């Protein structure tokens, strides 16, 4: 029995007493300290603490806890752990709470890390199984500073709750990390054993005050072999991203697909300090790749400052090469067009090498109509020596296209433009330039060439040695215009300049010459500059010279926005008191005092209105004083008088004297301005007066005023409109002005009566004209009522019109109005048309009946056209005052006759004419030939039937469907003429196509002989046979179509049929070509005789050219000098 007692005692000690002793040891604070102290000796890492409270079987606390390893250190100020040891009986390590307060947590890079040679295999071998479940119910890390590698410390709050099962599955109930700028939460489950299968959900919120708020919700599924994420972004960015990562431990591959709603990135840019750009985007972005290659395919719409672009294409990376294949940009808005970027950037790991280009077609800047019809920018080479080539064709800057070709080299320290060439109308401006910024910025250019038959030259040498600018040379000229500058913006030095124009008409409509010299002083790092004008002289060919009385010196400070200047005084020979302007600034107020005496109106007209048909004579005097507070935008003082009494308006032999003509302006105490105007011509009983009050200096300032006009004659109006002959009549107006400056309104009544108005260019006679415009003060829109006669027909115009807003609706009705009456054109019309005016656009709708018309323009076969070597100098086209949108129906009456382009006859039909703004007029309908003739090879043939067909094409190119015949009379007993001889004409009116027919069928040569001579071939003799051959080549308009076809096919400048004499046998075919802008060659070969001609023409100057002619019969030369009238 003793052995059993002994065994029982051992069992009691092992099972009961030892655990009881262990529990009693750790169940006390003293025992827990002893256990921790002993355990520290055997741990592989260093753990220290200042104080311990509690027991290891319940809740315990460390003060100044310190854990240290090579890559990690943890030193909280306080660490509290609460766990339930009884849960061990259920196979669970349950930790109810871990709370870490204050202190630091550091992550460091390992100093001596060894790379596992088979890391992939080691990951696959990871299999984690636990003997017990671990249940962490709550973890809180608060007020701790995190140091990650070398980055600045960040304060994070961490909250977590998770459970790890014995099979190695981690269930994350909550993992929340909160930073002052970022909060993220993770939940889900993941296996801790390979392949780490996971299902996780993440919610992240960016709430930095420096950036817009952004929320991202992400679902993560898969394992280490294949991982898929689906993300939804909201608030600061709105979109969806789906991404997939495959085999990251072997050959990593990835792909993503994203969809973005319209996102405004302006707030993001403002956070980065870029607040001048409005940027938004929307669309799809896709991509795929791996560790060594990638491909991105955008299909997005980007808007930058209201400029919208669609971007698509592909960008790829592989083997250290970025490839654009290509990247397309479709631009809309103010800039419209398509660009394509293609090429590659290689050797990214060493010195990048670029071989890429950007090309475009029809790139248009719509606000001013400037466009690049086609262009290409190409860059090739290393970044240290990059070759850049630009080839571009511009339009809209000048009337003709400009071709720009540039070749340049870009180095780290400089940009060398090796060649720059601008070509316009066979004229070229070329040059080169160097920009260097190695030590200091410098620019050197040398440009020469010709533009508008005037020499262009420019040589510039600039150096910028901050803060000093040195202009060693600046000499630019074009024709008789030049700008010269030399000097420096540096202490003790000045930049001198001189502007010269010996012929202002080359630049504008103003005639004369001008010279001005002066200097500029200051430094680029200082806000104050001084401008001096030492000399100014303007000489008009019809007036005395205008010049400065004394030099002008003006100083300006752009920081304080202050300036000072000496008086500006101009003198004119014969004037005792010259024009003077004095400006002074004190605080934020600019005071001005201007006066002029006895200034000829003629010279003012020469400067302001040089091309009008009338002429002003007389003198003008002015006195204006005032003060303007530009900080508060108020006019403190204004008192001005401009007087031009007894001035005269002359046009031809007509003259009107304005006995009074003056303008006054004065401000009131309440900051308003009163403006008055008076014009009186006693001989015409003409009296115009007006008053206008502006309440304040602002675009939306309220205004009020009155205008009164009475005249018993329209002679003054006739002088201002010399293209119109106006008879007797009268006009009157009483108007009230209201509204504000940027939206004025008018009300009242305007009357106009005229017994006769003749439009000289068209011969249009308007008689018995009575017009009345009335407007209610509350509406501001005039009601128009006008009636009269045009020719013998009555016309009425009714509707509404707002002259200030340029809007209105008018209806024009009339019957048998003689619209045109010239030797070439006679047009009688009966309109029923409505006009709608909207700013610069006029909508025309309605019906126009033409009961009678006669159209007989110059015979185009006899018209003289310029040869290929003729150029028109400085030809310009005035833009139309209005654009039109037309949709009218034109019907022809019984008396409409046309004689043009080989056709003569009466027409009848109906045609719908439409026209969009800035496009050609188009027609739909048909015009039939009632009776008429068509000329073929110099013979007039009767038209049996015919139509001009309009099928929506341009109005001046209708299709033809004509059938013409000639009656052949029997001339002999044995001869039987064909029953019918004729031709069918199809094609268009300016390119007709001819086919011959006969009954019975005959050869074309026989039909043509009958058409031309009324006889079959062989019956006229050899002379007429030669005439027939010539007719086949040079008769009628067919020759032009033949030569034009040859000219276009072989890119020749001239192809023509001509004869040096009246003998048809001398007819030759000539071809000509410019070999250079100055050298022209021309060769001719006889068609009926074996002759040849060679002509060489060389332009020696603008007026002098040399011409040499060699023929089979001789040779000669001429010097030709041209005198222009």
Model confidence over 600-610: pLDDT tens digits?
A: 888 888 888 88
In this predicted structure, the answer to whether residue 648 has a pLDDT above a threshold of 80 is: yes
> DSSP string covering 213-251, please?
-EEEEEEEEE-SSEEEEEEEEEETS-EEEEEEEE-TTSS
- pLDDT exceeds 90 at position 434: yes
pLDDT at position 1032: 45
Half-sphere exposure of 56 (CA within 13 A, CB side): 14
The whole-number pLDDT of residue 116 equals 46
What is the CA 475 to chain-centroid distance, rounded? 32
Residues 472-486: what's their mean pLDDT? Answer: 94
Assess whether pLDDT exceeds 70 at residue 548.
yes
Q: Mean pLDDT across the stretch 250-275?
A: 87
pLDDT over 70 (residue 936): no
Rounded Cα–Cα distance for residues 670 and 288 (Å): 72
CA dist 104 → 46, 60, 76, 148, 536 (Å)? 16, 20, 6, 11, 78
Report the length, in residues, of the chain: 1125
Rounded to an integer, what distance in angstroms lies between the CA atom of residue 32 and that of residue 452? 103
Q: What whole-number distance in Å separates Cα of residue 335 and Cα of residue 773?
A: 43
In whole angstroms, give the CA distance from residue 450 to residue 496. 27
The token pair that represents 478 in the structure block: 């074009």
Distance from C-alpha of 713 to C-alpha of 710, rounded to nearest angstrom: 9
Q: Facing residues of 174 across strands?
A: 161
Question: Across-strand partners of 429?
Answer: 422, 449
What's the pLDDT score for residue 1022? Answer: 44
754 exposed, middle or buried (CB, 10 Å; 0-12, 13-18, 19+)? buried
Percent of the chain at pLDDT > 90 equals 24
Cα–Cα dist 85/95, whole Å? 9
Given a cut of 70, whether residue 1036 has pLDDT beyond it is no
3-state secondary structure string, 421-479? Answer: EEEECCEEEEEEEEEECCCCEEEEEEEEEEECCEEEEEEEEEEEECCEEEEEEEEEEEC
Average pLDDT in the 165-187 region? 90
What is the pLDDT confidence band of residue 996, given thresholds at 50, 70 and 90? confident
Q: pLDDT per residue over 92-130, tens digit each?
A: 889 889 998 988 888 877 665 444 444 445 777 888 888
The residue to which tokens 């504008």 are assigned: 508
Lowest model confidence (mean pLDDT) among 78-92, 295-309, 932-946, 988-1002: 932-946
Share of the chain above pLDDT 70, in %: 87
1044 vs 1109, which has greater pLDDT?
A: 1109
**Residue 484: both structure tokens together:** 């010269």
Q: What is the pLDDT of residues 347-392, one digit of tens each?
A: 888 888 999 999 988 888 877 778 887 889 999 999 888 999 999 8
Ramachandran angles phi, psi of 643, nearest 5°: -130, 130
What is the rounded average pLDDT of the residues 278-289? 92
For the chain, give the mean pLDDT.
82
Q: What is the pTM of this model?
A: 0.61
- pLDDT for 24: 60
pLDDT at 10: 56
Q: In the predicted model, what is the mean pLDDT of residues 901-910?
A: 81
CB 948 within 8 A of CB 956: no
DSSP string, 691-736: EEEE-SSSTT-BEEEEEEEEES--HHHHHH-TTEEE-SEEEEEEEE
Distance between CA atoms of residues 48 and 774, nearest Å: 101
Q: Which of 142-156, 212-226, 1059-1073 has the lowest mean pLDDT?
A: 1059-1073
Range of weakest confidence among 294-308, 436-450, 500-514, 576-590: 576-590
Minimum mean pLDDT range among 229-243, 435-449, 580-594:
580-594
Q: Where would I find the beta strands (DSSP E) of 760-790?
A: 764-775, 782-790
Per-residue confidence band for 868, with pLDDT thresholds at 50, 70 and 90: very low
Task: Give me the DSSP letters along 620-667.
Answer: EEEEEEEEEETTTTEEEEEEEEEE-TTEEEEETTEEEEESEEEEEEEE
Q: State how beta strands 883-900 and 841-855 pair.
A: parallel
Q: Over 60: is that where the pLDDT of 90 sits?
A: yes
Identify which of 964, 974, 978, 1037 has the alpha carbon closest to the alpha carbon of residue 1007. 978
Q: How confident is the model at residue 287 (pLDDT cuts 50, 70, 90)?
A: very high
Please give the average per-residue pLDDT across 479-508, as a whole number. Answer: 92
| Dihedral sign, Cα of residue 837, residue 841, residue 844, residue 850 | positive
For residue 1023, pLDDT over 70 is answered with no
**In the chain, where the domains are located:** 45-110+122-188, 195-305, 567-701, 822-862+882-1036, 1040-1121
Q: Write the secondary structure of 145-169 as one string of H (helix), E (strand) and C (coil).
A: EEEECCCCCEEEEEEEEEEECCCCE
- Where is average pLDDT lowest: 14-28, 746-760, 866-880? 866-880
Which tens digits make up the pLDDT trace of 768-799? 889 898 887 666 688 889 999 988 899 999 98
Task: Quote the pLDDT of residue 973.
Answer: 46
State residue 1107's pLDDT score. 83
Question: What average pLDDT does this structure show over 995-1016?
Answer: 76
Q: Which residue has the tokens 């001398």?
A: 1066
Write down the pLDDT at residue 1124. 56
Kindly give the pairing relationship between strand 133-148 and strand 104-107.
parallel
The neighbouring-strand residues paired with 581 are 568, 594
């Amino acid at each position: 029995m003793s052995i059993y007692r002994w065994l029982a005692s051992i069992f009691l000690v092992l099972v009961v007493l030892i655990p009881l002793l262990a529990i009693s040891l750790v169940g006390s604070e003293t025992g827990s300290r002893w256990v921790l102290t002993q355990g520290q000796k055997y741990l592989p890492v260093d753990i220290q603490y200042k104080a311990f409270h509690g027991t290891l079987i319940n809740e315990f606390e460390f003060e100044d806890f310190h854990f240290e390893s090579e890559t990690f250190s943890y030193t909280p100020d306080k660490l509290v752990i609460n766990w339930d040891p009884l849960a061990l009986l259920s196979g669970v390590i349950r930790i109810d709470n871990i709370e870490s307060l204050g202190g630091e947590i550091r992550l460091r890079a390992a100093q001596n890390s060894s790379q596992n040679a088979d890391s992939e295999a080691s990951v696959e071998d990871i299999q984690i199984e636990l003997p017990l479940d671990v249940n962490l119910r709550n973890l809180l890390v608060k007020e701790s500073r995190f140091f990650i590698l070398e980055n600045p410390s960040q304060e994070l709050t961490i909250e977590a709750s998770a459970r790890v099962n014995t099979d190695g599955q981690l269930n994350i109930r909550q993992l929340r990390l909160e930073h002052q700028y970022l909060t993220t939460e993770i939940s889900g489950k993941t296996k801790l054993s390979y392949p780490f299968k996971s299902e996780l959900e993440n919610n992240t919120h960016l709430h930095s005050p420096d950036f817009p708020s952004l929320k991202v919700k992400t679902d993560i599924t898969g394992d280490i072999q294949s991982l898929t994420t689906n993300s939804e972004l909201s608030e600061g960015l709105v979109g969806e991203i789906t991404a997939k990562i495959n085999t990251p431990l072997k050959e990593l591959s990835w792909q993503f697909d994203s969809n973005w709603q319209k996102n405004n990135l302006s707030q993001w840019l403002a956070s980065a300090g870029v607040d001048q750009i409005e940027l938004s985007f929307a669309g799809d972005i896709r991509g795929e790749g791996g560790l060594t290659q990638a491909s991105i395919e955008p299909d997005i719409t980007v808007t930058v400052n209201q400029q919208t672009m669609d971007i698509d294409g592909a960008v790829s990376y592989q083997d250290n090469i970025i490839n654009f294949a290509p990247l397309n940009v479709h631009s809309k808005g103010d800039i419209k067009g398509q660009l394509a970027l293609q090429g590659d950037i290689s050797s990214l790991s060493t010195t990048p090498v670029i071989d890429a280009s950007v090309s475009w077609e029809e790139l248009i800047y719509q606000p001013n109509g400037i466009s690049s019809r086609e262009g290409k920018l190409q860059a090739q080479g290393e970044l240290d020596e990059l070759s850049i080539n630009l080839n571009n064709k511009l339009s809209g800057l000048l009337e003709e296209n400009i071709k720009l070709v540039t070749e340049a080299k870009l180095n780290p320290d400089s940009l060398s433009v090796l060649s720059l060439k601008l070509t316009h109308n066979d004229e070229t401006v070329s040059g080169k330039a160097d920009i260097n910024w190695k030590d200091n910025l410098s620019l050197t250019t040398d440009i020469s060439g010709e533009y508008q038959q005037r020499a262009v030259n420019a040589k510039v040498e600039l150096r910028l040695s901050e803060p000093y600018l040195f202009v060693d040379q600046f000499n630019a000229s074009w024709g008789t215009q030049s700008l010269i500058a030399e000097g420096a913006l540096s202490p003790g030095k000045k930049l001198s300049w001189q502007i010269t124009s010996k012929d202002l008409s080359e630049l504008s409509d103003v005639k004369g010459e001008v010279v001005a010299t002066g200097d500029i002083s200051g430094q680029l790092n200082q806000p104050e500059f001084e401008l001096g004008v030492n000399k100014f002289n303007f000489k008009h060919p019809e007036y005395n010279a205008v010049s400065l009385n004394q030099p002008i010196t003006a100083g300006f400070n752009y920081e304080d926005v202050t300036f000072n200047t000496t008086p500006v005084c101009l003198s004119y020979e014969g004037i005792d008191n010259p024009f003077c302007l004095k400006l002074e600034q004190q605080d934020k107020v600019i005071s001005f005092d201007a006066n002029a005496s006895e200034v000829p109106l003629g010279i003012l007209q020469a400067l302001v209105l040089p091309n009008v048909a009338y002429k002003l004579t007389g003198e003008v005097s002015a006195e204006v004083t005032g003060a303007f507070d530009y900080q508060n935008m108020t006019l403190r003082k204004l008192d001005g008088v401009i007087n031009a009494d007894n001035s005269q308006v002359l046009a031809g032999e007509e003259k009107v004297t304005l006995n009074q003509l003056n303008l006054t302006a004065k401000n009131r105490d309440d900051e308003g301005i009163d403006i008055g105007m008076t014009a009186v011509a006693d001989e015409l009983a003409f009296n115009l007066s007006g008053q206008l009050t502006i309440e304040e200096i602002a675009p939306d300032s309220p205004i009020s005023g009155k205008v009164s006009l009475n005249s018993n004659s329209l002679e003054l109006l006739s002088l201002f409109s010399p293209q119109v002959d106006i008879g007797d009549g009268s006009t009157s107006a009483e108007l009230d002005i209201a509204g504000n400056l940027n939206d004025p309104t008018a009300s009242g009544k305007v009357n106009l009566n005229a017994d006769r108005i003749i439009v000289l260019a068209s011969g249009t006679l308007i008689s018995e004209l009575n017009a009345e415009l009335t407007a209610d003060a509350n509406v501001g829109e005039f009601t128009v009522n006008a009636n009269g006669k045009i020719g013998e027909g009555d016309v009425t115009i009714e509707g509404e019109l707002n002259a200030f807003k340029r809007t209105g609706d008018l209806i024009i009705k009339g019957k048998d109005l003689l619209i045109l009456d010239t030797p070439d054109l006679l047009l009688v019309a009966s309109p029923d048309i409505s006009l709608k005016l909207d700013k610069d656009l006029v909508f025309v709708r309605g019906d126009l009946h033409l009961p009678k018309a006669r159209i007989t323009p110059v015979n185009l076969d006899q018209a003289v056209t310029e040869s290929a070597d003729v150029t028109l100098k400085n030809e310009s086209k005035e833009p139309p005052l209005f654009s039109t949108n037309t949709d009218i129906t034109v019907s022809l009456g019984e008396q409409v006759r046309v004689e043009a382009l080989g056709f003569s006859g009466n027409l009848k039909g109906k045609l719908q004419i439409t026209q969009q703004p800035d496009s050609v007029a188009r027609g739909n309908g048909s015009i039939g030939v009632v009776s008429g003739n068509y000329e073929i090879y110099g013979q007039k043939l009767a038209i049996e039937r015919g139509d001009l067909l309009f099928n929506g094409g341009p109005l001046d190119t209708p299709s033809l469907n004509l059938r013409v015949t000639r009656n052949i009379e029997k001339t002999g007993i044995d001869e039987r003429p064909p029953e019918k001889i004729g031709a069918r004409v199809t094609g268009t009116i300016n390119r007709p196509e001819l086919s011959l027919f006969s009954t019975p069928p005959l050869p074309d040569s026989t039909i043509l002989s009958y058409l031309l001579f009324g006889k079959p071939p062989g019956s006229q003799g050899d002379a007429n046979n030669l005439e027939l051959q010539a007719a086949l080549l040079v008769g009628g308009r067919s020759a032009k179509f033949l030569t034009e076809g040859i000219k276009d096919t072989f890119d020749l400048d001239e192809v023509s049929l001509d004869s040096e004499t009246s003998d048809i046998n001398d007819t030759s075919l000539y071809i000509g070509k410019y070999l250079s802008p100055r050298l022209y060659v021309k060769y001719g070969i006889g068609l009926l005789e074996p002759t040849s001609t060679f002509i060489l023409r060389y332009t020696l100057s603008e007026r002098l050219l040399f011409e040499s002619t060699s023929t089979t019969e001789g040779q000669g030369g001429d010097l030709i000098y041209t005198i222009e009238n």
